[in-house]
């Protein structure tokens, strides 16, 4: 059934490209995880005889993709959003804030050294440290700066290259993927790059992601690149295992606790000293792998995180809501004549970090207008 899902995704992607007349659109931008980390890797593993096809996982993926696509057709009246009034001040304040936030992270980075492996070890420690929220805000600030500077200058500058370089070597693979997709989307929307370039760029993004992972994990290991690749793409298997625990009644549903507690991550632990370690997605990891989770090893359970709250209803709702929200910000973006503010909302993950930064930006936006 995985092959059918893959063809179904490609078919819907083709329809969305035809409908929006852009390669990266509200639907295709939302396919990063289910397509690149679940469907394609597991198909390869099945072909090689190193993986199995699970009907339960396939149904969950299919439902999510279907309602994600349907959600992009649901239109709600959008609010008028005002542009930032002084880009220079916002860029300056963002740089300063990024530097200030990075200062407490620097000792951890120096502890492991500036190497591919060291960066990964830094990432694995910082995301479970008292400064995990600082790390998330820092990454978001860099992405916002990259977008604002590109839209402002409409070209790649030395400053942009430096920011992209920092994000690439932040230790997070998703940061690489997000940065590359944001760059090619900006080129499509603001520079009108053709589909062939975008398609090739998408492949290069995936290859770069793999290379970066190999460079981090092969050191001090006796594994070859092929074995490392197989061990990395185990999201589908982990997802299947977690789904079966809920369906069989061996685990109780969380009834929204995972989704609601995920907002805890923006509160620094030195402010909330009693903040639990198992919140958000970590609730499921601690429940299934308590010892590994305590040691900082937390494999991804894919769509099972959504499933854990309300079962199939969560999958349907999360897919539909994600599609609806992407389409909402996309329409806002186009009706604003491609202003940077709705583009930020459209291209970045809409979460509490982004909301907080937007409040900050609008406050300083009225200090002094651009001259």
pLDDT in tens, 232-274: 568 899 999 999 999 999 999 999 999 888 877 767 777 777 8
- Determine whether 94 is exposed, middle or buried from the number of CB atoms within 10 Å of its CB (0-12, 13-18, 19+): buried
pLDDT on residue 200: 64
pLDDT on residue 8: 96
* 352: its two tokens: 């509490």
pLDDT at 212 over 60: no
208 or 176: which leads in pLDDT: 176
pLDDT at 213 over 60: no
pLDDT on residue 371: 42
Flag the least confident range among 93-97, 231-235, 345-349.
Answer: 231-235
Q: How far apart are CA 249 and CA 274, in angstroms?
A: 31
CB 69 within 8 A of CB 353: no
pLDDT on residue 261: 86
Instruction: Map residue 339 onto helix, strand or coil.
Output: coil
Q: How far apart are CA 266 and CA 20, in angstroms?
A: 34
pLDDT on residue 326: 92
pLDDT at 360 over 50: yes
For tokens 């070859």, the residue is 224
Phi-psi region of 49 (alpha: psi -120 to 50; beta: other; left: phi over 0): left
pLDDT at 222 over 70: no
pLDDT on residue 173: 66
Q: How far apart are CA 129 and CA 108, in angstroms?
A: 10
pLDDT on residue 239: 94
Other C-beta atoms closer than 10 Å to the C-beta of 105 total 18
pLDDT band at 10 (very low <50, low <70, confident <90, very high): very high
Question: In sequence order, what are the residues at sequence separation of 6 or more whose Cβ sits closer than 8 angstroms to the Cβ of residue 236?
Answer: 38, 39, 41, 42, 45, 51, 54, 57, 302
pLDDT band at 220 (very low <50, low <70, confident <90, very high): very low
pLDDT on residue 83: 72
pLDDT on residue 14: 95
Q: How far apart are CA 345 and CA 355, in angstroms?
A: 9
* Of the candidates 61, 39, 59, 63, the residue with the CA atom closest to the CA atom of residue 51: 39
In the chain, % of residues over pLDDT 90: 28
Question: In sequence order, what are the residues at sequence separation of 6 or more whose Cβ sits closer than 8 angstroms to the Cβ of residue 156?
Answer: 150
* pLDDT tens digits, 49-65: 888 889 999 999 999 99
Determine the length of the chain.
Answer: 371
pLDDT on residue 333: 87
pLDDT on residue 229: 55
* 133: its two tokens: 């929220």
pLDDT on residue 116: 65
* pLDDT tens digits, 99-135: 998 898 888 888 887 776 777 778 777 877 777 778 8
Three-class DSSP labels, 68-123: HHHHCCCCCCCCCCCCCCCHHHHHHHHHHHHHHHHHHHHHHHHHHCCCHHHHHHHH
Region 309-327: mean pLDDT is 94
pLDDT on residue 168: 66
Considering 39-43, 54-58, 86-90, the range whose residues carry the highest mean pLDDT is: 54-58
Torsion of CA 87, 89, 91, 92, to 10 degrees: 160
Flag the least confident range among 27-41, 187-201, 213-227.
Answer: 213-227
pLDDT on residue 208: 62
204 or 23: which leads in pLDDT: 23
């Amino acid at each position: 059934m995985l092959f059918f899902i893959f063809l179904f995704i490609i078919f819907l992607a083709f329809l969305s490209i035809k409908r929006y007349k852009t390669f990266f659109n509200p639907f295709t931008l939302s396919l990063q995880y289910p397509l690149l980390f679940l469907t394609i890797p597991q198909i390869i593993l099945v072909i090689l005889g190193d993986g199995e096809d699970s009907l339960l996982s396939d149904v969950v993926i299919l439902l999510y993709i279907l309602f994600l696509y349907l959600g992009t057709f649901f239109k709600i009246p959008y609010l008028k959003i005002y542009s930032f009034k002084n880009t220079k001040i916002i860029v300056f304040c963002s740089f300063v804030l990024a530097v200030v936030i990075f200062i407490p992270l620097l000792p951890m980075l120096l502890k492991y050294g500036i190497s591919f492996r060291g960066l990964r070890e830094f990432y694995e420690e910082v995301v479970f440290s008292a400064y995990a929220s600082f790390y998330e805000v820092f990454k978001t600030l860099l992405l916002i700066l990259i977008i604002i500077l590109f839209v402002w200058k409409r070209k790649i500058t030395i400053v942009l290259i430096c920011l992209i370089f920092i994000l690439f070597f932040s230790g997070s693979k998703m940061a690489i993927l997000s940065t590359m997709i944001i760059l090619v989307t900006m080129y499509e929307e603001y520079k009108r790059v053709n589909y062939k370039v975008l398609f090739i760029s998408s492949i290069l993004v995936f290859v770069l992601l793999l290379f970066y992972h190999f460079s981090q994990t092969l050191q001090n290991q006796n594994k070859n690149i092929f074995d490392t690749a197989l061990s990395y793409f185990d999201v589908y298997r982990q997802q299947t295992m977690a789904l079966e625990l809920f369906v069989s009644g061996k685990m109780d549903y969380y009834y929204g606790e995972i989704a609601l507690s995920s907002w805890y991550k923006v509160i620094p632990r030195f402010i909330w000293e009693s903040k639990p370690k198992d919140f958000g997605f970590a609730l499921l990891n601690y429940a299934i792998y308590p010892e590994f989770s305590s040691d900082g090893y937390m494999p991804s359970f894919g769509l099972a995180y959504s499933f854990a709250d309300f079962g199939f209803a969560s999958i349907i709702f999360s897919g539909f809501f994600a599609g609806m929200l992407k389409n909402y910000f996309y329409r806002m973006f186009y009706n604003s004549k491609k202003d940077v503010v709705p583009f930020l909302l459209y291209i970045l993950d809409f979460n509490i970090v982004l909301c907080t930064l937007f409040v900050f930006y609008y406050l300083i936006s009225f200090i002094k207008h651009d001259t």
